[in-house]
Structure 1
């Protein structure tokens, strides 16, 4: 079987690339739906009027309460959900290509566990003396976890190790780092947290968009766009990595440098998103597999398709988390797991039957 046939296992879907011009419209529609739907439904017309008033200086008559809900709460929440979904999906695409592991996802490298530890240190142990925010603490913890994983992976492999050894070292180091930081988080909660604090931390650890505001969006939007641009820049390189590091090196790719850039990009994207919304599973695992089925494995199509699908999926999951139980907001990680686990099982079964 040729390399080209491996890269395009579903050729019947390759002609659908012309639909990508609908991406901005689909993303805008998803954000509008995420803004309009909630505990109290608000019409799309009202949402558009609020946007016109805020962005274009129009003077449409809009109820002040509705305007506050739309602008200060729901719209910023939908924008951050889209950025987080896109960022996590892109991270999954990159890791699955670099590590050649179909089960690789953004939390493989212990970043989520480290962010959780940092957040718990701030909220429960009082780290930072009230000056450091929860998100800042989570960011510091995520970076510390990433640094530990890099050190462990470097120590577990040597300069003579092949691509398989290096990938295995990263995976094993990520597992070790996750276990360590999860244990630290549990220890801090058990030792220092009150019952109310423990409940709040556990809710955040399962994914929570309730506290999202525009200052979070100002960080999430450039992070997601920057990650998308890096992935698009290296889209052909990711195709080469699909065949392994040795094949990529034979094509003239500086494997160590490019792999370092891509893994650092994934780490930063995941750290930023987790620091704002907590740990949200299955987005980086399910979305890339679903998009491979629809668009094929070439990253020219896979990267933008995964970013769009991840954004729309997480906006939808956030809407469901707000309306599924009357009078209560569920952790968004619960919704993504309830949807993602069965979908991933179907993808696995269909993939096995196709072989």
Structure 2
């Protein structure tokens, strides 16, 4: 940072009211550091009282302006969490600088037993925001809040994921109940599931017990509800993809091995954002390496797993599909050369590395139009 930038940052900090928010269901703790003061003040308001928060900020800023005799600005920071981004958007709409920080990125005391209270966390957030405003951006990672439309769109892929888990749970439950009676060839996902249920016999030739049959019938009712909701969600997803035109999902679907679900999830979870380089998108997916080097120790700890878990899991799954459906691509050849006849752990480690490379390649394909080397389009 140049001397001129440092001077501007110091001047801006001397005329800024720094505020941190510890958000709870019952109460909000507001920690404030007034301009040109090294003391913190704490205020408590009812949880969810956004109007009370705005009034408090207005009152504190007016008091600081009277004391300094000059206009000041306010900067508010909160941790990313259960409350989402609605308060962040409200503060921005009111002309207040607002930041959302990744709580795992803030440096803390590394003692085995350290004090942790809302007051201690509030003070730490204020100090972190002050350092960030001075240009020390390595002290934490600020979260880029998605737009309301982007946040709403990605609910489709997340709801579908939950419905898939429910479908698997109901299916396994029905199969497990029947397997205990010696029936192992019943598929609850077939269209004739109810007809076949009525004709099933136990392994020793008896009809299904009455209570068991009714329990399975009720389980099928829940399964059919999940299936109908899953169909509705996939229909909405396909409509969204059709409306996207020549955007990222339409480009991704053209590649062999990538279907509508993979394309929509990659678009809604990652590719709608702007990334400056390949390191940023790999870190966002939690696929960046985490080396450990100290003295004579030099080893890899694996990937950070600090990013978007849905994107990370999807990319690992897509990497296996890519090796199968794009065997002639440069990435698949790299994987084959790296793994060779190896199995087990070596193969699992290499597929994670391939997932990182594939994500970067798809990001370049969508943003720059650079086709992954050797990739084949669908006919």
User: Considering the TM-score relative to the shorter chain, is it more than 0.5?
Assistant: no
Choose between structure 1 and 2: higher helix proportion: 1
- Which one has more relative contact order, counting CA pairs under 8 Å at least 6 apart? 1
Give the greater-gyration-radius structure (CA). 2
- TM value normalised by structure 2: 0.28
Name the one with the larger strand percent.
Answer: 2
